[in-house]
Structure formats: C-alpha cells, structure tokens
Chain A
C-alpha cells in the first residue's frame, strides 16, 4: 500500500522569500504524484502533477516540484512567495493503474508580510 508523509505541518515564511514544502512517499510500484492547494473553506485545486518524463514539473502560480525516485520524494518549491500563497498544501499519490488517490496530512504555509 502507498503512503504519503509531509514532515512539516506548518511552514511560516516571509513574503518574497523562497519556500520548499517536503513530501515523501512509499510504494512498492510506480506511482503518479500530485500537489494540491486548499484555500480556507474551499475545495482542493491541482497545482501540478508528475506522471513520467522530466523529473522537474512546473505548475500554476509559479510553483514547481522535483521527483526524486531514489529518495522517494516530491518536494514543492517556489522561489518567491506572495501573501496570496497562504494556504494548505497537500501531496498525493496514486498507482499507475486506475486507483484512488492517497493524500498526505497537509502542510500549512503562512506567508508573513
């Protein structure tokens, strides 16, 4: 069975500073990886996904993530955050077959003016 770990439950960062949100997964088979963002009292929105190919994936709102198979990681990065990036971020995994998605516990990003 797959599982997802997000080591940081809360990440405070100053506006215009870079940020990295960490995600590690475990799986005995190949997987697809996702990052979602959730603003308060809203549903989740897909930021980016890794299916295959280039290990560096670019998403919306200036975010990018790098897939590292040897370290089973899929960390999310942004070089310069904005106040509007304050939200909850979820890493998720699914097998390469048609299967349900497993979510990590989430990381709360707070951007400080």
Chain B
C-alpha cells in the first residue's frame, strides 16, 4: 500500500544535540512538507519542497534544516539552534495536481530531555 512513513515514532534528544527525523513516501508525490504541532497552536509549516533538490522555508524554519536528494525522501534535522524543539512533527506530501489535499504520515514526537 502506498503511503508516508515517518520514523521514529518517538524520539528523545539531549540539549545541544542534532537529531534527524525521517520521512519517506511511495506515492510518487512531487511535493513534501514538514509541520510542527504544539498543543493549541495547530500546524505550523517548517519547510517544504516542490521538486527534488529544491526547498523553501516555511513560517518557522529557524533551527531546522532539510534536504531533498530523492523524490521519495524529505528528512528534517532539528539542530541545537532550535531552542524549544519538543513537539509533534508531521510530514505530508501531495501531487502537483491542483486542488489535491495532503497525505500525512503518522508523526514523530520529539522530546528534549
């Protein structure tokens, strides 16, 4: 079955460490997105990519980095510069067809210890 796989489901990070969240899709979708979700704040866009080897900053890109070397993969690195990284991270993808909604992964919960 086609879908988006996020791993790991739970991740613990010590302060000062970089961590990378994985997002892989086998839907042949062109665009991929990373959102951060905090209680009561909905979804906030971190980064997105509409084509391989190209990506754009979203609303809260500071302290995060991404790469898009393959169409199927869009990993997110949470760097030590992100001061409050504890959150639920969601990856999504969509086709280039106008009006299509997102397909979401099941999320990664990151906790700083």
Contact = CB atoms under 8 A, between A and B. Distances in A.
Interface in A5-63: 9, 32, 34, 36, 41-46, 49, 51
Given A96-B98, A96-B99, A97-B98, A43 B90 contact: yes
A42 B101 contact: no
Interface of B is mostly: strand
Contact of B102 (A9, A42, A44): A44
B99 A32 contact: yes
A74 interface: no
A101 interface: yes
A44 B43 CA distance: 10
Interface string A93-113: 010111011011110000000
Contact of A100 (B42, B45, B88): B45
Interface of A is mostly: loop
A98 B107 contact: no
Nearest to B104: A43
Contact of A49 (B6, B99, B103, B109): B99
Contacts of B40: 9, 105
B106 interface: yes
B75 interface: no
Contact of A90 (B42, B58, B94): B42
B41 interface: yes
A98 B64 CA distance: 24
Interface string B44-58: 010010100000001
Interface of B: 4, 6, 31, 33, 35, 40-43, 45, 48, 50, 58, 88, 90, 92, 94, 96, 98-99, 101-107, 109
